[in-house]
Amino acid sequence: MAQISLTFPDGNAREFDAGVTPAEVASSISKSLGKKAISATVNGAHFDLQWPINEDASIAIHTLQDDDQALELIRHDLAHVMARAVQAIWPDVKVTIGPVRDYGWFYDFDREEPFTPEDLGVIEAKMKEIINAREPVTTEVWDRARAIKHYEDANEPFKVELIDRIPEGEDLRMYWHGDWQDLCRGPHLQTTGQLPADAFKLTHVAGAYWLGDATRPMLQRIYGVAFKNRKDLKAHMTMLEEAAKRDHRKLGREMDLFHMQEEAPGQIFWHPNGWRIYTTLQDYMRRMQERDGYVEVNTPQVVDRQLWEASGHWDKYQENMFIVEVDEEHAREKAINALKPMNCPCHVQVFNQGLKSYRDLPLRMAEFGSCNRYEPSGALHGIMRVRGFTQDDAHIFCAEQDIEAETKKFIEFLSAIYKDLGFEKFAVKFSDRPETRAGEDDVWDKAESALKSATEAAGYDFDLNPGEGAFYGPKLEFVLTDAIGRDWQCGTLQVDFVLPERLDATYIGADGDKHRPVMLHRAVLGSFERFIGILIESNAGKLPFWIAPRQVVVASIVSDADDFVHEVVNTLRAAGVRAEADTRNEKINYKVREHSLSKVPVILAVGMKEVEDRTVTMRRLGQKQTAVETLEAVAETLAVEATPPDLR
C-alpha cells in the first residue's frame, strides 16, 4: 500500500497508509485523543474524522476544546438533529437545507401548517431525546443516480433539485444521524452524544423563499442558537434580551427620529430629531476630512449604462442596481440609465478632467454620496439595511509606492474618528478575491500583496476573510464591537488596480510619461443610516451629548416660572446648546418621565425657588440624583459638552 506523510502542528511528520482517516491518526497518537477527537484540519480544510486522506498533508486534530471547530460542528449537527426531530414528529414535512450562521443555524422546511411557538418546545424536547440516545454519525459517498433515486423514492423534491445543482464530478456525500439521513458536505461530529443537550435553543420561525427566489415556494425557516455549554447560552440569551431593548426601530419611535412606510420600501423618512443627528455627524465628518487633506465633490445620481459597462458594474453588479429607462425627446428608443449604487466610477470621471501630474498625488476625493441598491424585501431591516443610503465615501488616487503610506494614514484617521464616537477598539479583516471579479490574477496578486504589506506596516494584525473582496479589488474591513458585545463591520479600505485601467485614468509621472494611478476606495462610517442605527443601539438611545438631537429640556414646575424658563433656554442657545422649553400645564414628574423616555440627556427643572436664586435643578438621563446649579455654571458646562470633539 502506498505511503503518505502527515505533518503535525509541532513540525513532526509521520508515515501512514494512503486512505488513513483522521480518526485513525488520532487513535495512533493516543487512545484518549481518539476518544476526544471531533474533526481535523487537513491542508487548511476542515475535515471529518471519517474522510480518507490520500496524499501528503499537514494535519491538526481538534477536540471540543477548540472553539471555532467545535462550535461549527455543534451548530451544524444540531441543524441535522432538528430536521430529524421535525420529521419524527411530522413525517409529511419535506426538508431542504440547514446552514450554520452567526451563533447558530437555520433549517428550511416545506409544511402546510405553520409552526407555532409551542411547536418549537416540542421540537426541542425531541432533539434532546435524539442527543441523549448517543447514536453514531456515519457518512458515505453515493453516485448521482443512486442519490436521486433515493430522494425521489422518499418524495423529497428539494433534495433532488439540490443534487441537480451540484456540478458533475463532485462527491455526493450522505450523512446519517442515527437512522436519519441527509445530503451534506460535512464535516460532522462522531455521535449525537457529543452535542450539549442543555446549550441550544430554538428561537423563532420566519418565512423564506426556496433558494431566496420570490417565484419559488415559500418555506418555513426555524432558527436556533447553540454554544458549548449552558453558561454561554444563557449569556447569549441575556444579550438578545438587551438587544431587543436597544432595537433602533423601537428607540427611533420613542425618540421621534424617523419612520418608514410601504410606499418607499427601504427608504427613510427622517424626522427633525433624526435629521439633526444625521447633519451633526455629517458636519463632523466634513471637518475631519478637510483637516486630513480631502477635497469634496458631488456627482450625479442617474448615470448612463455606458459608464457602468465600462466600469464593470453592469456585468458584475447589475442585479443590485435600479435601472431607469428614459425616452429621450421621444426618440422611440429608450436610453437606459441606472441609479448609482456606488460613487467610484463618477469619481474617476472627476479625476479624468484635465491633466494630472505626479505632483497632484495623492489626490483624496470625498463625497457624501447618495446611493441606491436593490436589497430583497426580506433583507431590509430598519435603517440598518436599506435601499437608499449615503456613504462617507472617498477615493484616494495615488502612485503604487504610496499605498503603504496612505493605508497607514487612513487607519490613523479612522481610529481617531471611532474614538470620538465612543469606539476605542476595532478589529481588522482582510478580504481577498471573490469568485466573480474583474481583472487578471496577476493584478489581484499585486493588489492583495500591497494591501497586506501596508496593513502590517501600519502596525495592525488582521484576520482573513476568504473570497469576500469587492469585484475590483481586495479590501480591509474594520469591525467595531458595541456595548453589548456585538460586532459591526463599518469602515473599509480597498486597493483597486482595475477601475483606473478600465476607465483610462492617467497622470504624468516625473519621467514625463503617462502612468496609471492606484485607486484606494475608503469609508469610515460606511452608510450614515446604518452607522446611526449602530450608535443608537450601542448607546441604548443615550447618545453622546454633542450628537443628541434634543440636548436640554427646561421644564417649569409652576407657570409663574415660565419667564425664567425662556431666559434659561435663550442663554443655553446662545452658548451653542440645543435647548427647548416645556411650560405645559403638567406635573414636573410627568414631564421628566416623558423626556426621559425620549432620551433627552439633560432636564432642567425651574420653580419659584430657582427663579429667586437664578439657579436650575439639573437631572441627567439615567441618574436619580439631581443637582442645583447656577444658570451661568450650567451654561458653561453644557457648552463644553455640546462642542464636537474635533472643535474642543
> What is the torsional sign of CA 91, 96, 97, 103?
negative
Strands (E), 455-499: 463-464, 475-481, 487-496
Q: Does 521 count as an annotated binding residue?
A: yes
Place of cell 441627567: 620
Distances (CA, A) of 641 to 63, 136, 561, 572: 52, 63, 26, 12
Give catalytic residues, as residue numbers: 344, 373, 391, 393, 395, 475, 521
Whether 511 contacts 608, CB under 8 Å: no
Between CA 418 and CA 524 the distance in angstroms is: 8
Cα 624 to Cα 589: distance, rounded to the nearest angstrom = 12
CA 635 distance to own-chain centroid: 40
Q: 395-405 burial by CB neighbour count: b if 16+ within 10 A, else e?
A: bbbbbeebbbe
Measured from the Cβ of residue 311, the count of other Cβ atoms closer than 10 Å reads 23
Distances (CA, A) of 219 to 102, 110, 379, 582: 21, 5, 16, 52
Between CA 254 and CA 249 the distance in angstroms is 9
Contacts of 11 (CB under 8 A, 6+ apart): none
Q: Is residue 204 part of an annotated ligand binding site?
A: no
Whether the upstream peptide bond of residue 474 has omega within 30° of 0, thus cis, is no
Task: Please state the separation of Cα 543 from the chain's center in Å.
Answer: 21
Q: CA 570, CA 551: separation in Å to the nearest integer? A: 14
How is residue 174 written as a grid cell? 450522505
395 is in an annotated binding site: yes
- To which residue does cell 458533475 refer? 168
Instruction: Give the residue ranges of DSSP H helices in 12-143.
Output: 22-29, 31-36, 67-89, 117-132
CA 194, CA 296: separation in Å to the nearest integer? Answer: 58
Helix residue ranges per DSSP H, 439-527? 441-457, 498-502
User: What is the spatial distance between Cα 305 and Cα 141, in angstroms, rounded to a whole number?
Assistant: 47
Q: Specify binding-site residues.
A: 344, 395, 521
Known binding-site residue numbers for Zn(2+): 344, 395, 521
